[in-house]
């Protein structure tokens, strides 16, 4: 398996007047992922990806010291490549048709200092997406059986979704050191990811909304309290959030995810919710700086005909998340750093039984996401040596960074495989695949 992302960006910033600035951006992203698999006596390569071109214009207008206004728009052309199957010698066997769409957005937001103690930010975004041909669209009944097939020519617009996305946040200063904040936001998502939780691998299937799939909608509220202490040397905060989501998607049990032009018939929809509390303690000054952050969160789903229509943990549900960052300035030219990360293991669906059918061994799985991978943790270490900090003498500054990712070589499981204990045995054994052990690196930074 392999995945990669390539990004190219062109940006032009302009100060149009004392009050108005403009920012124009063109971005091209190409995300692709490949899976090599052996089926029987033959081996195949499945290649898929997304190709996006985005143009965005963003304007900022500074009305006064107490208010500012931002507005703009963007257009994105999506090209989804569901998959090409080829042999190991790269001979193409079959190709699923690409899916194309145009996504638009217009947005405006304002930041207002209502009083010395009350600051408000409000925004409104209008977004839309249009499915575009050339395309073959399958229509399904309530039992996910194909009832009709529609063919659209190149450039034909055959489906449109649109909606408003409001958001507002407010911060109130109770004193110079204490403040409270709250916010609300609605978001629409037109690009749909769905993953096979039985594999634990990162090969999500990405596709646009369609006549069969509505946009995902989320509404989130949050509230928090923030306090500075010891002359702003220490920052502390605690925040609560709650999110409800509609039109969530997941694959049915035993779905045929790959090489399937009827993929939308394998998808089931439902609702989801996420909630949590976040704590932060940060030290900003002195030889020792750093922060400790802890989050407890839950993400649950209830999808039609999955897990007997009961709630289950989402693939990204990791209740405990702890990060500790420490930086120490040993001398003016030597800085040391350490970061320790701990998270609960990701949910995964594992085989719990097996049977023989038509000469093939078929697995039986646990309830959806009924197990978890082992907890994830690692330590990263770094040392930064400032070689030259006086730009006036040499015309540039430079520094050397030596670091070690996963310094104690923790074998964090990436996915789990099951194989017979020995050839011909009916007893299965689980194997955990780890992607990275310790990874040293050397970086030279220079500024001129």
Higher pLDDT among residues 360 and 330, named by residue: 330
Higher pLDDT among residues 423 and 20, named by residue: 20
Mean per-residue pLDDT for 96-116?
93
Closest C-alpha to 319, from 241, 248, 375: 375
Question: Model pTM greater than 0.75?
Answer: yes
Mean per-residue pLDDT for 184-207?
75
What whole-number distance in Å separates Cα of residue 329 and Cα of residue 153? 64
**pLDDT band at 92, cuts 50/70/90?**
low
**pLDDT band at 444, cuts 50/70/90?**
very high
The segment with the largest mean pLDDT, out of 183-197, 226-240, 255-269, is 226-240
Closest C-alpha to 111, from 72, 61, 73: 61
What the block records as the tokens of 407 is: 């310094």
Residue 393 phi, psi dihedral angles, 5° rounding: -80, -50
* Interval 131-170: pLDDT, tens: 998 999 999 988 889 999 999 999 999 999 999 999 999 9
**pLDDT band at 200, cuts 50/70/90?**
very low
Task: Assess contact for 269 and 246: CB atoms under 8 A.
Answer: no
**pLDDT band at 202, cuts 50/70/90?**
low
Mean per-residue pLDDT for 68-91?
85
pLDDT of 332 over the 80 cut:
yes
pLDDT of 39 over the 70 cut:
no
CA distances from 146 to 116, 261, 272, 420 (A): 61, 12, 27, 39
Per DSSP, the residues of 364-401 read EE-STT-EEPPPEEEEEEEEEEEEE--HHHHS-EEEEE
Mean per-residue pLDDT for 314-326?
96
Average model confidence (pLDDT) across the chain? 89
Q: So what's the pLDDT on residue 201?
A: 54
Q: So what's the pLDDT on residue 115?
A: 92
Residue 266 phi, psi dihedral angles, 5° rounding: -90, -5
pLDDT of 197 over the 90 cut:
no
Mean per-residue pLDDT for 197-222?
80
Task: Assess contact for 382 and 421: CB atoms under 8 A.
Answer: no
């Amino acid at each position: 398996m392999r995945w990669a992302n390539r990004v190219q960006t062109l940006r032009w910033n302009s100060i149009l007047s004392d009050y108005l600035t403009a920012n124009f951006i063109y971005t091209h992203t190409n995300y692709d992922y490949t899976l090599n698999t052996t089926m029987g006596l033959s081996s195949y390569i499945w290649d898929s990806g997304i190709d996006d071109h985005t143009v965005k214009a963003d304007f900022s207008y500074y009305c006064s010291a107490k208010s500012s206004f931002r507005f703009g728009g963007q257009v994105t052309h999506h090209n989804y490549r569901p998959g090409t199957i080829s042999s190991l010698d790269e001979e193409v066997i079959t190709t699923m048709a690409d899916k194309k769409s145009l996504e638009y957005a217009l947005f405006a937001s304002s930041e207002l200092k209502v009083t010395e103690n009350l600051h408000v930010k409000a925004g409104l975004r209008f977004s839309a997406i249009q499915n575009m041909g050339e395309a073959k669209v399958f229509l399904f009944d309530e039992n996910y059986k194909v009832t009709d097939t529609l063919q659209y020519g190149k450039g034909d617009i055959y489906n449109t979704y649109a909606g408003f996305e409001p958001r507002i946040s407010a911060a109130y200063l109770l004193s110079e050191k204490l403040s409270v904040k709250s916010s609300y936001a609605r978001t629409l998502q037109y690009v749909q990811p769905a993953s096979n939780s039985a594999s634990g691998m990162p090969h999500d299937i990405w596709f646009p909304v369609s006549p069969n799939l509505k946009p995902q909608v989320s509404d989130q509220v949050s509230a928090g309290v923030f306090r500075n202490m010891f002359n702003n040397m220490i920052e502390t905060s605690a925040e609560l959030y709650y999110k409800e989501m509609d039109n969530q998607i997941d694959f049915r049990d035993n779905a045929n995810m790959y090489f399937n032009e009827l993929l939308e018939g394998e998808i089931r929809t439902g609702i989801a919710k996420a909630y949590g509390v976040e704590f932060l303690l940060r030290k900003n000054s002195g030889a020792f700086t750093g922060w400790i952050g802890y989050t407890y969160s839950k993400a649950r789903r209830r999808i039609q005909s999955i897990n007997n229509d009961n709630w289950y943990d989402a693939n990204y549900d990791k209740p405990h998340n702890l990060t500790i960052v420490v930086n120490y300035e040993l001398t003016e030219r030597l800085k040391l750093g350490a970061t320790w990360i701990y998270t609960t293991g990701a949910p995964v669906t594992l085989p719990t039984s097996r049977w023989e059918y038509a000469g093939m061994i078929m697995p039986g799985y646990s309830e959806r996401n009924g197990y978890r991978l082992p907890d994830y943790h690692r330590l990263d270490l770094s040392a930064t040596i400032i070689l030259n900090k006086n730009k006036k003498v040499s015309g540039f500054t430079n520094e050397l960074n030596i670091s070690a990712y996963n310094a104690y070589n923790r074998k964090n499981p990436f996915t789990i495989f099951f194989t017979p204990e020995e050839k011909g045995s009916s007893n299965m054994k689980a194997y955990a695949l780890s992607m990275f052990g310790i990874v040293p690196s050397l970086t030279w930074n220079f500024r001129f």
